[in-house]
Amino acid sequence: MPAFDTYTCNECGTAFKAMAGANAAESGYCSPVCERAGKER
């Protein structure tokens, strides 16, 4: 069973599931859109 963890998006606050060690888990954003928005701040 893959190790999915629940994270909270740094940008929009949405809880999302990602695999531990995945890009989304490390960056803390639920989607590329949020990641871009978060990095622009």
User: Which residues contact Zn ion by CB under 5 A?
Assistant: 9, 11-12, 14, 30, 34
In the complex with Zn ion, the residue whose CB is nearer, 3 or 8, is: 8
CA 18 to chain CA centroid, Å, is 7
The SS3 call for residue 32 is helix
Q: In the bound complex, what is the minimum distance in angstroms from residue 29's beta carbon to Zn ion?
A: 5
**Cβ proximity to Zn ion, 2 vs 13, nearer residue:** 13
Task: Output 14 or 23, the one with its CB closest to Zn ion.
Answer: 14
Dihedrals phi, psi of 6, to nearest 5 degrees: -100, 130
Other Cβ atoms closer than 10 A to 39: 11
